[in-house]
Structure 1
Amino acid sequence: MDSKKIVQTIARACDDKRAEDIVALDMQEVSLMADYFLICHGSNERQVQAIARGIKDTMGERDVHVKRMEGFDQARWILVDLDDVVCHIFHKDERNYYNLERLWGDASKVELQVNENG
């Protein structure tokens, strides 16, 4: 599965867990870390953890394995590393503070289709 399909699949998994303000950034021209960042937030720690679990389960079903997951226990900012795609799941209070969209403002936004199949 290529990285563009992975970011779309992750966006749908986040939407299934009612993640808010799902944004994907195309990092290919601005960073060597990943092709895409996906950023979203949940309203409480349990929801943030559920979003992360949803991503892991959804990608596991497609034989795409999570390389690393950090911050799960605290559930304030969970980073899910899928190699070419890095997902940042914030608690709503933390998202504005870190403001990754502004930090990586040179990256273009990716149009997401969260309510479609494919």
Structure 2
Amino acid sequence: MQNERVVQLAARACDDKRAENIIALDMNGVSLIADYFLICHGNNERQVQAIARGIKEKMEENNIPVHRLEGFEQARWILVDVGDVVCHVFHKDERSYYNLERLWGDAVTYSIEMDQDK
């Protein structure tokens, strides 16, 4: 499956759990870590866990392997590794502290289209 489609599926899973400020960064040519970073946040630990769980379930539904899920217990910054797409699910406070969007400022912001009629 194309990475753009994986990003869209992950973004949909985030939106379904009411994640806030969902963005994707095109990391091609910027980093060897991944092709895309998906970044979003939740307002409390329970929501952050629900968002990460939602991404994992959406990937499993589409037969996309999740290689790693880290930080779930603390729910301050959960990393969901889907190969060439890495999802960063932050608690609101940690997102502003780490500010990955600024750190990877050379990356192009990837447009995520959410259908109004889910």
Tell me, yes or no, whether TM beats 0.5.
yes
- Equivalent residue for 1:113? 113
- Equivalent residue for 1:100? 100
TM, length-normalised to structure 2: 0.97
Say which SS state the counterpart of residue 81 (structure 1) adopts.
Answer: strand
TM-aligned CA deviation for residue 116 of structure 1? 5.8
- Rounded to whole Å, the distance in 2 between the matches of 1:63 and 1:116 is 25
- Equivalent residue for 2:74? 74
CA RMSD in angstroms, aligned pairs only: 1.3
Aligned structure 1 segments of 4 or more residues deviating by more than 6 angstroms: none
Output aligned runs, 1:1-118, within 5 Å.
1-115=1-115
What is the one-letter code of the residue matched to 2:67? Answer: K
- Rounded to whole Å, the distance in 1 between the matches of 2:105 and 2:69 is 24
Say which SS state the counterpart of residue 39 (structure 2) adopts.
Answer: strand
Structure 1: where are the runs of 5+ without partners?
none
TM-aligned CA deviation for residue 29 of structure 1? 1.2
TM, length-normalised to structure 1: 0.97
